[in-house]
Amino acid sequence: MDVSNSINNEKKKKESGVRSVSKQIILGLLTNFSSLAPSMSLGFSAVAIPVLRGSLTSNGISWFASIASLATPFGCFLTGPLADRLGRTKALLFVNAASFLGWIILALAFYSSNNYPLLITGRILTGFSTGK
């Protein structure tokens, strides 16, 4: 009976160790997402411009590349008072929701025939959320 109990105890220890490591990895990724999202927003134009060359003018491409950087200061200026009024957690949820909505709009723009307004709107939202 002692042997089976010790084997069960060892299995439980291994299972709890795997769960603990998994939790740490997931929490680490979630914690670092706040650094990853702004980087994706600022670097997205470098990846998207070669694809957009056929459908946008050079002026449109220039606006597409720079509008996120132009929206970032507005996010900086608005996030502080928003955090004071709503609290930090709700303010971060609001900013992350704006980022998520911006990325959804950018994804929808890929499937739209008149995608320029969607592209600019998505870039404004992702740029705004970069200024958190």
pTM of this structure: 0.73
Q: What is the DSSP string of 51-74?
A: HHTTTS-HHHHHHHHHHHHHHHHH
3-state secondary structure of 132: coil
Give the tens place of pLDDT for each residue, 24-40. Answer: 888 787 777 767 778 88
pLDDT of residue 8: 57
pLDDT of residue 13: 58
Given a cut of 50, the residues of the chain with pLDDT beneath it are: none
pLDDT of residue 104: 94
Cα–Cα distance measured from residue 112 to residue 120, given in angstroms and rounded to the nearest whole number: 13
Q: Which residues contact 70 (CB under 8 A, 6 or more apart)?
A: 127
